Amino acid sequence: MRFDLNEDQEMLRDAARRFLEAECALARVRQMEGEEHGFTRTWWKDVSGMGWTSLMAPEAFGGVSLSGNAAQDTAIVAEELGRAVAPGPFLPTVLALDAIVQSDVTKVHKDLVPRILAGEVVAAWAFAEAGNRWDPATFETSLESVGADLVLRGSKWYVEAGAEADALVVTARSATGLSQVIVPADAKGITVVAGRSLDLARRFAQVRFEDVRLPAEALLGELGSATGRVVRQRQLAVVLQCAETNGAVERAYEFTIDYMRERFAFGRPIASYQALKHRLADMLLWIHSSMATTDAALDAFDRGAADAGRLASIAKAYVAKKATEIMCDLTQLTGGIAVTWEHDLHLFKRRVAVNRAVLGTPEQHRRCVYATLQARETA
């Protein structure tokens, strides 16, 4: 959506689009329905080799900066992944990396970063809990210091790539506040329950932690010091998800118009009827408004603005709601054929529907915005 991309950003967008069109055709996405993991390690290494996961990492950790605005650079890739409804743990990897590099890392964590960037290690962020809880204030998963070790107890839900991950960044409550730890997926006491997903290319899981004992080095930062970093990660997750949703909706809109130009009724392409043109114009306005709202949230995030959280929630509340409405309208404009398995529109509708629920619903984010405004008035 942004009209001020620099040359490097334009090259990133064009290269990502060409790669995904060549390596991730929609026919391949359809095949993933019956596959256990939704992506292969070879595919993920190829994606990582493109440098997409390194955009949020500082240069000291092997990251790459195109514009000095890391989230805006990363959102370019997220949007292209949405246009292709592509597989792979892009978002959980970016969030796990952000958790690591933003903390006071030890050497063991520094050694882990290049392996994640190379695609050798798949990382995931175990954040939300049962009952669609995305607010850390409601979390029950606990982290306790026992002697020289740490003990993790509880369960995390809706963990993207949870069953495919080699390492998990887990957000938990401790006696002094929020903490985050890196947990090997094969650690004793971990049970992973893979789930089915409406999205054909993505997988989610429940991860249970039963007295998982970890060394002190697993802790990211100090015990109870993760609140600020968790807030940052949640904001980043929301704005990148909005960018991905925008990409999916824009692509679905484009090929629906192509269909309407070829579909004739009463001797004319249905795209030529004035009433349908009005509907398409309304949807284009909503798409551009969604992109502009997302861009504002990305800009606030990169600047570290005080209202970055509020703008992220505004973006999620608007984008997720409008995206689902647009997809339903596009289905109607195809005469309903888009509900069939053979039509491609349902692939995008699935991605949009899952994104609406993950990281908090529009209703939840509207309540967050209201709470922020109310707190400002009473301050």
Mean pLDDT by 10 residues, the chain (379 residues): 80 94 90 86 91 88 85 96 94 94 70 90 96 94 93 97 95 95 95 92 96 93 92 97 97 94 88 92 96 96 95 97 96 87 93 96 94 81
Question: What is the spatial distance between Cα 31 and Cα 52, in angstroms, rounded to a whole number?
Answer: 24
Identity of the amino acid at 278: H
What is the secondary structure of 93-147 as a DSSP string?
HHHHHHHHHTS---HHHHHHHHHHHTTSS-EEEE--BTTTB--GGG---EEEEET
CB 56 within 8 A of CB 97: yes
Which pLDDT belongs to residue 337?
Answer: 87
CB-based burial label for 238 (10 Å; 0-12, 13-18, 19+): buried
Residue of 372, 14, 84 lying closest to 244 (CA atoms): 84
Question: What is the spatial distance between Cα 46 and Cα 31, in angstroms, rounded to a whole number?
Answer: 19
CB 316 within 8 A of CB 348: no
What pTM value is reported for the model? 0.94
Q: Could you give all domains of the chain from N- to C-terminal order, each with its CATH number?
A: 7-117 (1.10.540.10), 123-220 (2.40.110.10), 227-378 (1.20.140.10)
What is the secondary structure of 215-239 as a DSSP string?
EGGGEESSTT--HHHHHHHHHHHHH
CB 174 within 8 A of CB 218: no
Which pLDDT belongs to residue 34?
Answer: 81
